[in-house]
Structure 1
Amino acid sequence: MTVLASSILRLDANWVDYLLIALYFVFVLGIGLSARASVSSSIDFFLSGRSLPAWVTGLAFISANLGAVEIMGMSANGAQYGMATFHYYWIGAIPAMLFLGVVMMPFYYGSKVRSVPEFMLRRFGPEAHLVNSVSFALAQILIAGVNLYLLATIVNALLGWNIWLSTVVAAVIVLSYITLGGLSAAIYNEVLQFFVIVAALLPLTLLALNKIGGWGGLQDKMASAGTGGDLNAWPGTTITTYSSSFWSVVGIVFGLGFVLSFGYWTTNFVEVQRAMASKDMNSARRAPIIGSFPKMFIPFIIIIPGIIAAALVTPLAQMKHSGAATGAGGVTYNDSLLLLMKQLLPNGLLGVAIAGLLAAFMAGMAANISAFNTVMSYDIWQTYIQKDKPDGFYTAFGRGATVVATALAIGTSYFASQFPNMMTYLQTLFGFFNAPLFATFILGMFWKRMTATAGWTGLVSGTLAAVLVAFLSEDAFGSASTGALHIGGQGASFAAAGAAFVVDLVVSVLVTLVTQPRKESELRGLVYSLTPKEDLHDEHADHWWLAPTKLAGVSLVLVVILNIAFH
């Protein structure tokens, strides 16, 4: 971010705004101190003692994903691509979240594993488990670095604080409350952060709509600017950059809606960990389903402001008209939300908005760090390095891993600074780590014949396929190239994820056919056909909203209606 861009973004915050921000941090650290009293074992520290109600874990499930890249990246996508960005929610999130709650949570929660990699250990053995654990830990450090980098640049731009000082201060705050209270502190702060984020973005959205003359005014403004097509979600060629409408739809539905989405929401321990902290099977299954309801409406307060910013804010409107990557003063689409805040928010609301952004950045980073310390402690340290130690040893190691992860995230924030499009960077990482993992999971869960050797060879092959496609794709990493595949924008990440999924499946099937499967008696609770149905269902509820399948049905109907209404 240039000095000139920073001055353009600088907000006129006063003592009222700083007071609101300070009060928010007091609450954050207070929750960490309160949660410390409940930590007496490693299960308490890493999984909140599996004691939390469904509404808490459901909101934390969403807030853990509502980080810096989500808010800044999706608003930037809204400004640049328009309504097609809604696909990341209605196609690329809700169906997978419902599938997780209805089909997969019974395996995770019922088997009493402490992490997603531990499920891999039970199903496929140590080789696949180690591959998954190491790749997951690496991904969390890289993604935590994204959150830290964005937080530092935003605080630097908005308030003028030194960028490295901003990075370290933010990291120390997150480190403090996770080290004190473990996952409980992270989850309860994520619930707080969810409401702070909504309180920050809802007024901004309403003020922006009022400023532009409502939905009709936005349509008229964009039509006169020649960008009216951005208000149509389908076929989404603006976001995939595919010239064919047919292949654009295929890329969105298969690459984003199936491979990337299911790979992320059903196997990513950052999300699954929140549901696993629930007090019983019914709550664990309902957690992601409860989260799907706010998830489907979040784009209205993230993407819509981005779309309006591209119509209202002069540098962005000029960029949109010219097709340039940067505007006056060096601003980019990543600055859309900040420019809109600067233009519309009075003091007081400005303080709430800044607190909301800080909440988002910390929620994302805390989710990454809390998942990292669990996998490092249970899946790597306890399993392969220091076995059979007292329970307190692993809790202490988890706190130490939190410190190490935070320090590493400060380092990886440098890598994040090299990528001008954070959403492309993030989706590329998901293609590397989540897409092949989902292929291995889904095949191993529904095909009892799949072998342990197929588990790890499929994972490695799928990951290598994703890396190869990404490097052969134009703009796969956000910088101009002459990639052989000539796939630009975020369509490159969809293609890489699809390749990872297909290659993983093919390799897994071929290797399975020439290797020895496990005994069926060892696969109860790990394979669908060999697990008694009473172990998979918990529908005994007095009301429909307490029955996971019925609640999921309502959510699915709502998201179909939204897709039709905003097609």
Structure 2
Amino acid sequence: MPGALAGAPQRIDAHLVDYLLVAFYFVVVLGIGLIARRSVSSSLDFLLSGRSLPAWVTGLAFVSANLGATELLGQAANGAQFGEQAFHYYWIGAIPAMVFLALVMMPFYYGSKVRSVPEFLGRRFDAKTQRLQGVLFAVASVLLAGVNLYAMAIVVNALLGWPTWLAIVVAGVIVLAYTFLGGLSAAIYNEVLQFFVIVVTMVPITLVGLHRVGGWDGLVGRLTAQGSTEMLQPFPAQELTGIGSSIGSTIGVVLGLGFVTSFGYWTTNFTEVQRAFSARNASAAQRTPLIAAIPKALVALVIIIPGMVAAVLIPGIESLKQGLPSDVTYNDAVPMLLRELLPNGFLGVALAGLLAAFMAGMAANVSSFNTVFTYDLWQDWLRPGRDDAHYLKVGRAVTVIGTVLAIGTAFIAAGFTNIMDYIQTLFSFFNVPLFAVFIFGLFWKKLTGSGGFWGLVSGTLGAVTIFVLNQVGVLSLSGQGSSFLGGGVATVVAVLVGWAVSRGGTPKPEAELNGLVWSLTPASVRAVPREAGWFRSPAVLSVLVIALAVAGYVLFAVA
């Protein structure tokens, strides 16, 4: 097994005070679960927090649910491997899609009072489309929860020297405990806490790391001396995409990542969208992704830059970049920086922050998995008509099952030297075809139930086909280019098949599509009631977050 998991050659030298700080954090996390348990009296409380949370809570939970392995290990690995090119995942690959989710899609999501994204598909199309997406999402959630468990195991292994299997099992049990006790409320309030712990962790690592290499100018000089000048140029990002043409690579970033993959993820991935569903009203739900987008735009600096620092401070990672044998992988960038940069005492805080990130990511996947399985597969399909107590029990049981399955899938992620490659591949399989069908059905009223179903099936198969062709050598895309191409193919195939199938079918009556199709929903219904205060205006928040993304590119263009 690669990297720090291979015999723990890079164990962090933690002391008693560090272990005590980590243990204290775990006590707080479990305590939140026990407190949240008191408010759980129905399946809606357990699975959607009773739709009662304020926008600032759901907004921070929204971004924290994404601040798992995808961010700290995956994006820091991207920073170590690709440098400034990795900023695209934030400023092109997140912000525009989050704004679109808030302004265009959230009024339909929240206004329809659905409990999940598959349930929305059931109302727009038919039951078979809902069930198919429920199954696809369940599989994706378990695979992504496994990524977070694997990432968490790297840190536990580095801290304690435990074997991989033990680290994965213990990490899974801890997340299971508080999610099982308090449901989504426990997950969300822990995610808010974890957000602040993560920031407290990554800001010092960034500052100390930059100080160690002589500031930003020193980092630029050392990367240049290393022969890694491409890491200092966001475009054309050919190393990131694996596309030889500079024009083709730029198109791949803007369209492949910035539209196809990112819109597919941020607008339809129930793991994040579920946080907005739990907001107390439509206005709070609409502001949720916009509030989340502010820290999302800024957190890039304290995740990508440490990865770039690791590329010059960690000898094993420098060897990787030169194509030489190494006992670490890019995924080890952050754990190795902990060992290299932080003193005992603060090391414990940093370790708690890393564990917080991985628990946030896994808990988000597990809590969304149990919601979709309970409502879309169990209640609406397999066992309809039972009392609410029955579905509450099922939700708790599925939480246990999802965790056990995630423990198994964690070992799949171990086969990738950069787990972002794996994550982007999963997004192209599961999120991109869903977005294509969803947005097509939102704006074309004649898309039938069968059109939606077969569009989803064919789009998923299209993305899988590109992955397989790249694996067997028919295509020769390195980096994450195959996932960008797979997402593009999935989008085109899903739309074309959906259109072709719908041509021979009968669409739903227009009366049944009010609130589900843009042209058939009056503007007064699409409009979300505004709350007082300019700072609550979606338009103001949208301009702010887009300006932050643009400012990031301007900053590094002149740096």
**TM-score in terms of structure 1 length:** 0.96
CA distance in structure 2 between the aligned counterparts of 1:94 and 1:179, rounded to whole angstroms: 32
CA distance in structure 2 between the aligned counterparts of 1:137 and 1:2, rounded to whole angstroms: 29
> Is the contact between residue 54 and residue 278 of structure 1 (CA under 8 Å) also seen in structure 2?
yes
Q: CA, structure 1 residues 180+226, in 2 after alignment: closer, same or farther (shift >3 Å)?
A: same
Does 1:286 pair with 2:283? Answer: no
Question: SS where residue 489 of structure 1 aligns?
Answer: coil
| Offset from partner CA, 1:236-284 (integer Å, 9 cap, x none) | 1110111101000111111111111000000010010001100001100
Does 1:393 pair with 2:393? Answer: no
Which of 401, 406, 418 matches 2:403?
Answer: 406
Which of 491, 494, 499 matches 1:501?
Answer: 491
Q: CA, structure 1 residues 121+369, in 2 after alignment: closer, same or farther (shift >3 Å)?
A: same
When structure 1 is superposed on structure 2, of 354-363 and 161-170 the one drifting more is 161-170
Q: CA, structure 1 residues 82+29, in 2 after alignment: closer, same or farther (shift >3 Å)?
A: same
The code of the aligned residue for 1:502 comes to: V
Partner of 2:323: 323
CA distance in structure 1 between the aligned counterparts of 2:332 and 2:296, rounded to whole angstroms: 23
Partner of 2:352: 355
Q: Which aligned pairs between 1:500-539 and structure 2 lie closer than 5 A?
A: 500-538=490-528
The code of the aligned residue for 1:531 comes to: T
After the TM superposition, which segments of 4 or more aligned residues of structure 1 sit over 4 Å from their partners? Answer: 2-7
> Is the contact between residue 11 and residue 160 of structure 2 (CA under 8 Å) also seen in structure 1?
yes
- Ranges in structure 2 where 5+ consecutive residues have no aligned partner: none
Q: CA, structure 1 residues 421+219, in 2 after alignment: closer, same or farther (shift >3 Å)?
A: closer
CA distance in structure 2 between the aligned counterparts of 1:3 and 1:27, rounded to whole angstroms: 28
> Is the contact between residue 464 and residue 486 of structure 2 (CA under 8 Å) also seen in structure 1?
yes
> Is the contact between residue 79 and residue 308 of structure 1 (CA under 8 Å) also seen in structure 2?
yes
The code of the aligned residue for 2:341 comes to: L
Does 1:485 pair with 2:478? Answer: no
Identity over the aligned pairs, expressed in percent? 55
Partner of 1:109: 110
Partner of 1:478: none
CA distance in structure 2 between the aligned counterparts of 1:448 and 1:405, rounded to whole angstroms: 36
The code of the aligned residue for 1:256 comes to: L
Question: SS where residue 9 of structure 1 aligns?
Answer: coil
> Is the contact between residue 77 and residue 85 of structure 1 (CA under 8 Å) also seen in structure 2?
yes
CA distance in structure 2 between the aligned counterparts of 1:561 and 1:3, rounded to whole angstroms: 36
Q: CA, structure 1 residues 103+228, in 2 after alignment: closer, same or farther (shift >3 Å)?
A: same
Partner of 2:15: 14
- The structural deviation recorded for 1:2 is 6.3
CA distance in structure 1 between the aligned counterparts of 2:543 and 2:440, rounded to whole angstroms: 25
| Offset from partner CA, 1:500-528 (integer Å, 9 cap, x none) | 01100111111111111111000011011
CA distance in structure 1 between the aligned counterparts of 2:506 and 2:305, rounded to whole angstroms: 53
CA distance in structure 2 between the aligned counterparts of 1:5 and 1:312, rounded to whole angstroms: 21
- The structural deviation recorded for 1:41 is 1.1
| Offset from partner CA, 1:82-123 (integer Å, 9 cap, x none) | 100010110111100111011101111000000000000000
Q: Which aligned pairs between 1:86-101 and structure 2 lie closer than 5 A?
A: 86-101=87-102
Question: SS where residue 331 of structure 2 aligns?
Answer: helix
Does 1:556 pair with 2:546? Answer: yes
Aligned length: 556
CA distance in structure 2 between the aligned counterparts of 1:232 and 1:19, rounded to whole angstroms: 42
The code of the aligned residue for 1:404 comes to: I
> Is the contact between residue 144 and residue 368 of structure 1 (CA under 8 Å) also seen in structure 2?
yes
The code of the aligned residue for 2:19 comes to: Y
CA distance in structure 1 between the aligned counterparts of 2:209 and 2:525, rounded to whole angstroms: 50
Q: CA, structure 1 residues 545+11, in 2 after alignment: closer, same or farther (shift >3 Å)?
A: same
- The structural deviation recorded for 1:336 is 1.3
Does 1:463 pair with 2:453? Answer: no
Q: Which aligned pairs between 1:29-44 and structure 2 lie closer than 5 A?
A: 29-44=30-45
CA distance in structure 1 between the aligned counterparts of 2:294 and 2:66, rounded to whole angstroms: 14
Does 1:432 pair with 2:432? Answer: no
Partner of 1:271: 272
> Is the contact between residue 5 and residue 154 of structure 2 (CA under 8 Å) also seen in structure 1?
no
- The structural deviation recorded for 1:415 is 2.0
The code of the aligned residue for 1:290 comes to: I
CA distance in structure 2 between the aligned counterparts of 1:264 and 1:401, rounded to whole angstroms: 24
Partner of 1:174: 175
| Offset from partner CA, 1:9-62 (integer Å, 9 cap, x none) | 211111110111011001100100000111111111111010000010000001
Partner of 1:309: 310
When structure 1 is superposed on structure 2, of 542-551 and 304-313 the one drifting more is 542-551
Question: SS where residue 431 of structure 2 aligns?
Answer: helix
Q: Which aligned pairs between 1:82-481 and structure 2 lie closer than 5 A?
A: 82-320=83-321, 322-324=322-324, 326-327=325-326, 330-474=327-471, 481=472
Question: SS where residue 66 of structure 2 aligns?
Answer: coil
Q: CA, structure 1 residues 2+529, in 2 after alignment: closer, same or farther (shift >3 Å)?
A: closer
| Offset from partner CA, 1:204-255 (integer Å, 9 cap, x none) | 1100111111111111222222212311111111101111010001111111
Alignment root-mean-square deviation, CA: 1.4
> Is the contact between residue 539 and residue 548 of structure 1 (CA under 8 Å) also seen in structure 2?
no
**TM-score in terms of structure 2 length:** 0.97
- The structural deviation recorded for 1:4 is 9.2
Partner of 1:477: none
CA distance in structure 2 between the aligned counterparts of 1:4 and 1:168, rounded to whole angstroms: 14
CA distance in structure 1 between the aligned counterparts of 2:524 and 2:283, rounded to whole angstroms: 13
- The structural deviation recorded for 1:307 is 0.3
CA distance in structure 2 between the aligned counterparts of 1:537 and 1:142, rounded to whole angstroms: 36
- The structural deviation recorded for 1:316 is 2.1
The code of the aligned residue for 2:246 comes to: S
> Is the contact between residue 259 and residue 498 of structure 1 (CA under 8 Å) also seen in structure 2?
yes
